[in-house]
């Protein structure tokens, strides 16, 4: 049971927009920044979004992040087949004094 809750899967057609939610609590998302990772099959995770909504250099601006209260969202616009991956949210948890990861959301591009 992950501390951060994500939907197991989402799907959308190419060129559409999809959002992935991440629900937490006051000890994690509510009080700390949210980070998002993309994991392609058989690969190490890749940093996608940090500090709730900042993009690292080299990440497409089709990806965006947002946060409200104890929930966060990752949005992907202009979906492409290369976006098929598992997406994880993460945040520092003050109660755990460690990093909490979500359970991951598998994105399927129809």
Partner 1 sequence: QITLKESGPTLVKPTQTLTLTCTFSGLPPTTETGAMGVAWIRQPPGKALEWLAIIYWDDDKRYRPSLKSRLSITRDTSKSQVVLTMTNMDPVDTATYYCAHSPEGDFYDSSVYMSWGQGTLVTVSS
How many residues bind partner 1 (CB under 8 A)? The answer is: 28
Instruction: Check residue 78 for interaction with partner 1 (CB under 8 A).
Output: no
Which residue, among 10, 19, 14, 21, has the nearest Cα to 78 in the 3D structure?
A: 14
In angstroms, the CA 44 to CA 23 distance is: 23
Instruction: Check residue 64 for interaction with partner 1 (CB under 8 A).
Output: no
Nearer to partner 1, 16 or 51 (CB): 51
Query: Please, which residues have CB within 8 angstroms of residue 100's CB and are 6 or more apart in sequence?
Result: 2, 3, 4, 24, 28, 90, 91, 92, 93
Instruction: Check residue 91 for interaction with partner 1 (CB under 8 A).
Output: yes
Site string for partner 1, 24-63 (x = CB under 8 A): --------xxxx-x-x----xxxx--xx--x-x-------
Q: Which of 10, 55, 101, 108 binds partner 1 (CB under 8 A)?
A: 101
Q: How far apart are the first and last CA of the chain?
A: 28
Which residue, among 29, 8, 26, has the nearest Cα to 100 in the 3D structure?
A: 29
Residues forming the site for partner 1 (CB under 8 A): 2, 32-35, 37, 39, 44-47, 50-51, 54, 56, 88, 90-92, 96-104
């Amino acid at each position: 049971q992950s501390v951060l809750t994500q939907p197991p899967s989402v799907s959308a057609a190419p060129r559409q927009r999809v959002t992935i939610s991440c629900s937490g609590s006051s000890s994690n998302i509510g009080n700390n920044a949210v980070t998002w990772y993309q994991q392609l099959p058989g690969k190490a995770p890749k940093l996608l979004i940090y500090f709730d909504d900042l993009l690292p250099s080299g990440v497409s601006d089709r990806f965006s992040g947002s946060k409200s209260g104890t929930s966060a969202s990752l949005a992907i616009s202009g979906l492409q087949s290369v976006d098929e991956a598992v997406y994880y949210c993460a945040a520092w948890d003050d109660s755990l004094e460690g990093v909490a990861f979500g359970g991951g959301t598998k994105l399927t591009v129809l």
